[in-house]
Amino acid sequence: MIIIKDLREELDWLRSKNIELEELQKQYPLFKIMKTRNGGREVYYKVYKADGKRKRRIVKYRGPEFYDILKGICIDTKRKMINDNRNLLKKIQPLYWDIDPVGLMAAVYRDNPKLDIHDISVAVSEIEHVRSAPSEWALAPYKRSEYREDEKIHTTSRGLKVRSKSEAAICEIFYANGIEFRYEEIIYVNGRRLVPDFVIRRKSDDKIFYWEHCGMMEDPAYRRNNHEKLGWYESSGIVPWDNLIVTYDKDGAIDLKYIEAIVQAVLAA
């Protein structure tokens, strides 16, 4: 089955292949070959432009220059095929749904925007989700922040209390992909106390990631606090290009496909 990840990977491959062919085209510039008959024999011409005029010059059939011109034609044709495929995939991608729990959740929310995304995720989880055995890390107790417990008013399908609908939706994506995580775990890095939204263990190599989801960026005070928190992370060696993931709500909503893409590309690898 084709999934959104496959489409993204194919687009990335086509993009890189086109760049490669652009460089190769410089070695074999594009000209045309014209074939005529002269005195009962076939004559081949290289067709090109010079001084704003269309000109032609005889080339030896199956000689080195003949094949260089033909290579240029082949490269140009391949680039056209790649660009046709890229344009087609760009049109398809926004319309294509992954037929999985996350894709179903997003599609239901699209058709029922007045419903709560968390309620949708609970229903989808019950009909789609298959739980896998947790690791020792996932089962081990940890110190969870008790800061403003009364604000944790949203409950995931596994009974976890979180602060926002977006965090609940992210949890459901973790569940659907078998991602092990801890919510608001109190950690100490270089003597500094930090409370990430999520601490995540990647199963493939046991690497630990930290995830912050920022949902109130329209609030200046929230933005300042978030900027300060990210600075603490960086000073502690927790950085976006290695082990920190930062996502945001947009216009008060969460992009489920974007969250799923991150999970698939980084955490499920």
3-class DSSP state for residue 172?
helix
Same domain, residue pair 237 and 127: yes
In terms of domains, do 81 and 110 share one? no
How far is residue 14's CA from residue 59's CA, in Å, rounded to a whole number? Answer: 34
Q: For each of the chain's 269 residues, which pLDDT tens digit applies?
A: 676 667 878 988 999 999 999 999 999 999 999 999 988 899 999 999 999 999 999 999 999 999 999 999 999 999 999 999 999 998 887 777 777 776 787 788 878 888 877 678 778 777 775 455 677 898 788 999 999 999 999 988 788 999 998 999 999 899 888 899 999 999 998 888 999 999 999 988 999 999 999 988 888 888 898 888 898 899 888 999 899 999 998 877 888 888 999 998 999 86
103 and 70 fall within a common domain: no
Of the CA atoms within 13 Å of residue 132, those in its CB half-sphere come to 11
DSSP of 4-57, one letter per residue?
Answer: HHHHHHHHHHHHHHHHHHHHHHHHS---EEEEEEETTEEEEEEEEEETTEEEEE
| Same-domain check for residues 102 and 209 | yes
CB atoms within 10 A of CB 106: 22
- In the chain, the number of structural domains is 2
The verdict on 182 and 214 lying in the same domain is yes
The CATH number of the domain holding residue 159 is: 3.40.1350.10
Same domain, 74 and 119: no
For residues 82 and 117, state if they share a domain. no
Residues 211, 132 share a domain: yes
Q: Which of 62, 94, 126 is where one domain is finished?
A: 94
* Sign of torsion over alpha carbons 134, 139, 140, 143: positive
The Cα–Cα gap between 199 and 187 comes to 9
Give the range of the structural domain holding residue 150, as residue numbers without chain letter. 98-267
- Dihedral sign computed on CA atoms, order 207, 175, 222, 149: negative
Which among 94, 110, 141 is the end of a domain?
Answer: 94
Domain boundary among 37, 72, 94: 94
